[in-house]
Amino acid sequence: MGRIRQRILAGVPQLSAAQSRRVLSMSRGTAAILAARRLVELGEGPGLERLLRSPVPGLRSAGADGCLDKSALMEALKVERCASVAGVLAARAVQTGAELSTVQSLLERQVLVSLHTSAGLRTPEATLGLGIGEPVQDLVLALRPHEHALSALVGASPGPELWQAMEALSFHRQSQDYLRLKALTASAGKRGQNSLLLAFGRLGDPRALPLLRDNLARMDVDPGRGFAWRRLSALALGRIGDPSAGPTLCRALEIEALEHEGRPGAGLGIQFPVRAVLLWALGELQDPGSAEVLAGYLDHTSGSALGGFHLPAMGALYKLGSSAKPVLEQVAKSGSELARANARAVLQAL
């Protein structure tokens, strides 16, 4: 069934505008994101403004890709909680005439939200230390011309030049670039796979989901590479914003908790925690079904250089918004002392 579904989804990027609109009206998942991106590619993006209010992050990003209404983009940015979607909204707002400094200020305010943890005021995005809390830098890269990025990719020599070109191209989020990047999977090299995974996440194309899901289970002979690819795959899944990846991320959390300390090179899992990014990614998907899993980390204070995983869990629960309130209220009543305090902090922020 999985292969049949993949073949069906692979055909969506070739549909006509009328067919894409039909798919979009019948689905809210992976197919809908692909259909919306196809409509943007066909020049039908201005008709997708309603998607800026969608509960699906990937659909909001697709709506932003095609929106030409500066005021609509700015209003959406004012209430956006997901870092990945906020970055797309910000770039499109500037491209439609919004003042760069105003957008940068608003973007930082929306993404770099501080929460009152048991240890004091903390900013989940910035504390992760993985580049997630640098939306302004991402915005600048997204504003560079697509033609320049494409020519840089075509003319790049193997190695760092090619890796940088792949990432630069992905910031433009054009569906036509997916096949260009996919063609480099075999030639990018082992180190280049890091940049390729980052590029797939920035591009936001759900066609990369099977590859990213497979990489979440990578336990390579070289533990450093395995940790890096699992972490970057989780990051990419969060940035694509397809809630169907939620169960995969939850299973990866369980596996990571069992495996990362008992394998050779386990220290890397503490210095660069995969679970922290998995938790962040669940927040970026805004899947209500992950609230209980995230709440289970509210009193987690060990196993990483971040002092545990309670902070990324708090940030993710904040992104879930009102759908997380029932779980948070229950933890605030009957959880451990630390979990109660952190649950109340998220509820206060909501």
Phi first, then psi: give them for residue 132, nearest 5 degrees. -70, -35
72 domain residue, yes or no: yes
Overall domain count for the chain: 1
Looking at residue 300, what is its pLDDT?
84
Question: Residue 29: its pLDDT value, please?
Answer: 87
pLDDT of amino acid 218: 72
Task: Report yes or no: 311 and 124 within 8 Å, Cβ to Cβ.
Answer: yes
Angle between helices 246-259 and 223-240 (to 10 degrees): 160
**What is the structure's pLDDT at 146?**
87
In a domain, 328, yes or no: no
Look at the pTM and tell me if it is higher than 0.75.
Answer: yes
Whole-number pLDDT of residue 1: 38
- Per-residue model confidence (pLDDT) at position 227: 80
- Alpha-carbon span 187 to 71, nearest angstrom: 43
In a domain, 206, yes or no: no
Q: Is residue 216 part of a domain?
A: no
pLDDT tens for 192-204 read 888 999 999 999 9
Report if residue 45 sits inside a domain.
yes
- pLDDT block averages, 10 residues each, the chain of length 350: 58 83 87 93 91 96 95 96 93 92 89 83 76 64 82 84 88 91 83 90 94 82 74 94 94 82 52 83 95 92 72 94 94 91 91
The answer to the question of residue 43 being in a domain is yes
274 domain residue, yes or no: no
- CA-based angle 257:119:275, to the nearest 5? 20
Domain hosting 38: range is 2-111
Domain annotation covers residue 308: no
Return the bridge partners of 120, or none: 117
